[in-house]
Structure 1
Amino acid sequence: MRNLVALPDDPTYLDRYVAIRDKKHKVTRANLTAAHALIEERYLAYAEAIDKSSLAGLKSHAPALLISDTLRACYDGATQPLKKLKQAIKDAQPKRLLKYCPMCGTTLPGTFDHYMPAVKFPEFAVHPLNLVPCCAKCNSTKDADWLSVAGKRQFLHSYTDPVPDLQFVVVTFHEIVGFKGVGANFSLTRPIGLADELWDLISSHFQRLKLIDRYDELGNDEVAEILKDCRIHLDSGGQDFRVFLSGRAKDRRDVYGRNHWIAVLMDSMAKHANLDNWVQVA
């Protein structure tokens, strides 16, 4: 789990919006042009909320909701500037990072989530910081349910929330005696020193997206593949498969973050006392 890289503000986010707006049909374009001051005001409000870490306090704007369909048409219509914006967001990310959805780390990010839900904040329909590459499952699960009943954010903002370089995803193993296999179970553990507010947000993000359940569902097959890779490494003349596996774990951490579930899995397996036996029967 690693933060996404935000697009630089050059061209400005407002300029990117204008480029999309100006490619809409005549009537829609005219209505959007008439509402330009509203959009400019709201983009400033978004930037201020990000700067002050107060996104949860940013309320829906009644004048924007009155023209919701017109504003959302900026995203719903596949104009060339919108395609360029989506591609620019993808191109800004380090290589390989978007092999996995940044919200869950399990599948390909084939859609974009509106972090501030478009149904409540249509003015941010094409705001670069409001478009998060993600998988369809995370997108549909989050939907417009971004705040709790208490008014707190329930999901990490992939561009702006600092993901600490501390281990909070952990894995335990159990040997399946009859099948000569190894099972994996994941859990969250709060690191020492992590602030309450950030830990609550991380915990909520994992709970709402059911990430531990997803990791558990995928874990056993991933363990089997990792062991098979270690076996192939040995059979092809490789020497220390623990070093081999540690290197692969480090590569995963460097690309996807310390708490990417496969990085955690590889690192924990490389350190496990029974790895030698597991590899032999793989």
Structure 2
Amino acid sequence: MRNQKSAELDVRSYFPTIVRSKQKKTRTILRGVQAKVMDLCDSYDDALDDLSTPKEQIWTEDERGALQSCYGVKTKVLSKHKDNILAALKAESEVNVQRCAYCMLSDPRTWDHYLPKESFPEYSVYHSNLLYICFGCNHRKSTDFDEEHLLFCHPYFTVDPAVSFLHCQVTIVEGTLAIKYYCAGIGDLQVPGQIAQRHLERLGLITRFAAEASSMVSGLIGELRQHFPGGVSGPALIGVLERRYAEAQERLGINAWDSRLWHGLAHCAMFLGYANEKITANAVPHANGFYEPAPLAI
């Protein structure tokens, strides 16, 4: 759930190039709807800026097929178009091509139509509708959309780089650490918060984030034990969490799951006691064969 700037591309430049690459019949159909497609791409941005779903259009069967073929048939022109989108995203930040824009957990390897091309063929190659994400999120998202409400966060439009609507609640009950992720906002952030919550639920990110966070907390406790074997003080712990929070924000943004984890831990009054209990429970880590040489390879 990281903000990305819209790739600096112009549909009025690349769409005619894609049209020219088609066979005569398809090319003729596409040229007949080209002006309408350009206008609809403008309205796409307007609708997403307003956090709403663009209206479905009525197309003839031939028009729908021709528009879908712009993406459905692999050509050198389409491959170059995708490469140009990736180059624009990479120029903004390397992380855009290193982490999935939907989950920020996995490597992106596939393209998603934010609005499915089956229902919105006019956006089949529109760069703002093509998002570079991981296979898992693409599979979970499928072709779902809602006529009234956005179901998923769009990194260009619905994710504000300066505002946190992803939150991490950390609680400790009877010595057990519980981590819960959720999205919420008040005032002007209420609608994007609702979109983000649907995003979490539909992509199964609540449990995925919590699992990753639990593992990261275990790693944190291990590091604290190395530096503070007798227990860490409150100010020292806050200092560690604050540094990690800043690093996560710089790398992945304020709505990254790990930046929210450090925030959640810092605001859990019982975490200091929990951490010190874990630290002192095994204050002297065993070398566990660290100094033993490995056998020679066969």
Scaled to the shorter chain, the TM-score interval is: 0.7 to 0.9
How far apart, in 2, do the equivalents of 1:214 and 1:224 lie?
16
Alignment pair present for 1:6 and 2:2 = no
Q: Is the 8 A contact 1:104 1:211 kept in 2?
A: yes
Structure 1 Cα separation of the partners of residues 165 and 42 of structure 2: 35
Which one has a bigger Cα radius of gyration? Answer: 2
| Residues 26-83 of structure 1: per-residue CA shift (max 9 Å, x gap) | 54434433432332332233244345x1642x22222265422322222123333322
Alpha carbons 2:185, 2:192 under 8 Å: kept? no
Partner in structure 1 of residue 205 of structure 2: 211
Is 1:166 matched up with 2:164? yes
Q: Who is 1:137 aligned against? A: 136
State whether structure 2 residue 77 is matched by structure 1 residue 78. no
Q: Which moved more, 1:220-229 or 1:128-137?
A: 220-229
Provide the rounded CA distance (Å) in 2 between the counterparts of 1:117 and 1:219. Answer: 32
Cα displacement (A) at 1:173: 5.0
1:61 matched to 2:68: no
Separation in structure 2 between the aligned mates of residue 97 and residue 40 of structure 1, nearest angstrom: 26
Which of 257, 260, 264 is equivalent to 1:261?
257
SS of residue in 2 equivalent to 1:62: coil
Change (3 A) 1:190 1:39: closer
Residues 24-63 of structure 1 mapped to structure 2, 5 A cutoff: 24-50=22-48, 53=50, 55-56=52-53, 58-63=54-59
* Distance in 2 of aligned mates of 1:160 and 1:125: 18
Give me the TM-score of the superposition, normalised by structure 1. 0.78
| 1:97-116 equivalence runs, <5 A | 97-116=96-115
**Are 2:12 and 1:18 aligned?**
no
1:250 and 1:33 mapped to 2: Cα distance?
50
Cα contact 2:167–2:181 (8 A) shared by 1: yes
State the Cα distance separating 1:189 from its structure 2 match: 5.7
Q: How much has 1:219 moved relative to structure 2?
A: 2.9
Q: 1:98 to 1:247 in 2, by over 3 A?
A: farther
Instruction: Give the drift of 1:16.
Output: 1.4
CA distance in 2, matches of 1:199, 1:142: 18
Change over 3 Å in CA distance of 1:22–1:184 after alignment to 2:
farther
- Residue number in structure 2 paired with 1:87: 83
Code of the aligned partner of 2:4: L
Q: Which runs of 5+ in 2 are unaligned?
A: 230-235, 286-298
Secondary structure in structure 2 of the residue aligned to 1:44: helix
Identity %: 24
